[in-house]
Every structure is written in C-alpha cells, then in structure tokens.
Amino acid sequence: MQFPDLNQLSLAQQVAQMVVVRASSHLFDHQIQYPEFGERDRATLKHWIGDLGVGGVIFWGGNAGELSLRIQQLQAWATYPLLIAADIEEGVGQRFTGGTWFAPPMALNAIAQTDLPKAIEYARQMGAITAQEALAVGINWILAPVVDVNNNPANPVINIRAFGETPEIVSQLATAYIHGAADYPVLTCAKHFPGHGDTSVDSHWELPIITHDRARLDSIELPPFRSAIAAGVDSVMSAHLLIPALDPEFPATLSPRILTEELRHNLGFEGLISTDALVMGAITDRYGADDAPVMAVAAGSDIILMPVNPEIAIQAVCHAVESGLISAERIKESVGRIWRSKQKLFKQWDGVTLTQSPVNSQPATLMTLAAPTSMAVAKSVLQDSLTIQGNLPLQPSPGKNIVVLEEILDSTFLSRSTPAVTIPTKLGYQLQLINRHSPTIRIEPDELIILQLFIRTSPFSGGLGIVSVAKQLFQQLLADRQLQGLVIYGSPYLMADFAPHLPPEIPCVFCYGQMAAAQSIALEQLFGGHN
C-alpha cells in the first residue's frame, strides 16, 4: 500500500501519528482496569483514533481471543492502520491468556553458562514464536527485546527481564531474538536506551541516576544496542534515566544529546525512536502533560508513548512547531519513519480490510497460539534453567504449604486450580497465602512447612518489599527446624541469597518462571513420583 504524501496531512494529523495511547484489551467500558495509566472509555478511545488520528495503541492484560476482537474494532476506526504494541518480553501469554508464556529472558542466561549455542537457539525460537503469536491476535509492534545489562541484583525494574549480566551474552541472545522475529511482519524494539541495567530505583516512580563515566558506558551499557541495531532492530525505546556523563541536565527520554547525537548520529540508528511511557513517575513528577511530549520530540523521539493526555500532547507539539521551537521538517522526518514502518506491516488498507504484509507465507490465526511445538520450547527453557539442591525427591508428610507472593488479588499465575496449590493439597498440605500486607504468621510448633516463594521484583510489583517478609519467614522456619522444602519462582538473586543458609539435606528448587507450567516442573522435581 501507499500512504498519502505527508503534505496532504495537516500538522495536527502528522503529530497525531506520533502518538501511541493506552487502551483496555476488553471490549466493554465496565471492564476497564487501569484508568490511572490511560485506559479510557470507548467513546474517548474512538475520538482519539477516529477524530484525532493517533498512530498506535498499546495493550496490557486480558485474554488473547478478546484482544483480537478489540484490535479489529480499533483498526476499523482508524483512517490509517495502527501500530499495535505490547510489552510481551516473555511471549504473548505473559500479558494475554491463551498464548505461549516463556520464562523470563534471564533464564536463557543461565542456560548460556553451560551451553551458549542452545541458549542462542532458544532466543531465536522465542523471537519467532512471539512474533507469530503476536500476529495471530493483531499485535504488530513487539516491545522487546530488553537489551539492558542487568549487573545490579537490586535492580527493581529490569532484573530478570534482561538476557543477562554481561554485554556479550545480552548481545548474542538479543540478536538471536531479533533474527527469530525477522521472518514475520512485526516490529521489534530494543530497550531501554542507553541502558537501565545498573539502577536501584524504579523509573516507574522516580528518576534513577547513573553515574558511570563514558568509558564504562561504552564497554557495558552501549554494546548490546550496537548489536541490536546491526541485527536490524526496528525501534529503540529510551530510558527515563539521568546520565550526567552524556547529559547532566535532561533524562535520556528528553535529551537531544542522547537520542539525536548518541543514538541517531554516533550509533547510526535509522529506525523508530520511542519514548518509554510518559505517564511514568520519572517524567510526570518533573515535567507537565504538555512539556514532556514537546521535549521528547525535540530530543529526537518519533513515538510519544502513553502521554498523560494525548489531546494536550498533540496540541503542545503543534504549538511548538508553530512557534518555531520544533521545525515542521522534524515532524515530517518522524512521520516518514512511521510510514515506512507501517508499510513493512501492511500490504492492503481500505479503511475496512487490513492484510498483513506477506513476509511469511503462513496466515496468522488464533489457532497458532500455544501450539504444541511452541509450548514444548517454553517448557524446555524452564526445565533447562532449573537449579536444584538438597535431598530430592522429598517424601511428603502432612503439613502446611505456605505460598508467599507479591500480590494476591492481581495474580495472573496463581489460582485454586494451579499446581502450586493443587499438588501440595493432594499430598496432605494445608494452604496459606502470604503477601507483604499479611498479619503476623502463626505456625504451630509441630508443623512441617513447604515454602513456595513467588518473587521476581518486576515493575509495580513491590517485589523488593516482599523480600523482607520472605527472609524473616525463611529464617524463622530454619531456626525452628520446620522447613521441609523450599521452592523459589522468579529471582535467581533471591535463590543466591537463600541457598547458602540451607542445610544440605533440605530440598530446594529454583525456577525462573512463575506460570502453571513452571509450578508443575518445579514440584515434580521436589516430590518426584509422589505428586
């Protein structure tokens, strides 16, 4: 298809193409779950897409079938096809029930320590399967891979989302992921430029500061981005970070020195530059709903992701152009990149019918979700990245199954029917759920305890808060000699912290994943044939 000449679009229409808004994946207004992060009712969303002409939508959560219908609805409202984005770093199933859910990327780092070629192949398959399933539901912009080098175990926002702790491993695995996705008409995204791996502050809430000098950035943070660009990554997402060595005044998202001089000129990146979500505290607490989008565009961003108010953002950028702060040519450059990206994705658009670009000959349908071969790859990654110690298998005996998790009410991986609950229950253990808000825990003196910890320190999760609860409980059970077995799902850093204190006979299993498949694999190791 041919998009119209940019001169046929008004300035406001051009700027609107740079805006990507948040939307609920559910079909009905009463199902909206995250209004504080930009999800709005049907009428407002239709106004943004149909009247303002925003260029894209980002989704988070729900089920794959309903999401597919939702995306069809939104594309039908659009004058030009929409970029449909999602943070599916661990596969479609991470955010949308029904798809394949992979272990966090750092699981591949564990495999790479003993078998790098196998880890690289897993990363390639992960990219290919994620791309295929994304197309099946209508997602065309995969906000992955994360190419941050997580060399700070206390990192509350990247952590196990990274492919590893060294630039060499991260570069190789991220490159393989990009190559795997490249066989499908989707966009990939390297994030978070110029590197969010060595922070101890979550940019969803505050502005982290990285004090490393230029030499350190060149040797650790920047190489994976260079590799991703060389591999043909379609977009790069900025980080909400202050890095004085590159720009002592502005965070990367709002810095011309970092986005234009460093990323565009020094690294030679020609694809889309996107902000991270502008509703995040690192930006919103310091810059207004109108200033942040203008500063981001002036810095070099092509995509204004999740502005606080899309309508105000469009007006503010238009005013900046009219007042001479931003050139009209600068806007056309960004929209030109967006046009080229959309041409990669779509071959036909008449306002009603939308057909994906024929990069891959197999039509994408919902039937491709969670195919047996895809699920087998996901299971193999979980299995091959397990860590076990102690006397296994454990001989079950009546006791208590204490499950510690970050959020009980919003858990996407735990229910009364998932293995972490059902398997111990069948073996005679009584369930007790605990989070950081739980009152003092009462344990009878003669009870034996299976302790299952679901802790991965992900954004918004409060994971670092639950760690202290888990540590206190762990120490209490060891002191009272009541700990029968330990299973940790999520953070290898927690495993590394706990493992040295475990008596050698107590069985312990660590699994990177938290989903039902991970629970089955871990408990099979713990109990062997008894489950």
**CA distance linking residue 501 with residue 322, whole number of Å:** 65
> Rounded distance, CA 17 to CA 443, Å?
58
Say which amino acid occupies 39: E
Q: Rounded to the nearest 5°, which phi and psi values hold at 356? A: -70, 150
- Concatenate the DSSP letters of all residues of 168-219 into one string: HHHHHHHHHHHHHHTTSS-B-EEEEET--TT-SS-TTTS--B----HHHIII
Q: Are 194 and 266 in contact (CB under 8 A)?
A: no
Burial class (CB in 10 A: 0-12, 13-18, 19+), 153: middle
| Most distant CA atoms of the chain, gap in Å | 78
Residues in the chain: 531
Each as own residue / partner, the long-range contacts of residues 338-343 (CB below 8 Å, 24 or more positions apart, any chain) are 338/17, 338/18, 338/55, 338/83, 338/272, 338/302, 338/303, 339/3, 339/6, 341/83, 341/187, 341/234, 341/235, 341/271, 341/272, 342/3, 342/80, 342/81, 342/83, 343/1, 343/3
- Residue 189 to residue 192: CA distance in whole angstroms: 9
Give the C-alpha separation, 313 to 296, whole Å: 11
Return left, alpha or beta for 416; rule: phi > 0 is left, psi -120 to 50 is alpha, else beta.
Answer: alpha
Position 68, amino acid: S
Separation in Å, CA 350 to CA 53, 55, 79, 521: 15, 16, 9, 48
Strand 508-511 versus strand 235-238 pairing type: unpaired
Q: Which residues are catalytically annotated?
A: 204, 276
Would you say 91 and 118 are in contact if contact means Cβ atoms under 8 Å apart?
no
What gap in Å lies between CA 111 and CA 124, rounded to an integer?
Answer: 14
Closest CA to 85 of 65, 51, 55, 47: 55
**Side-chain-side CA neighbours of residue 85 (13 Å):** 27
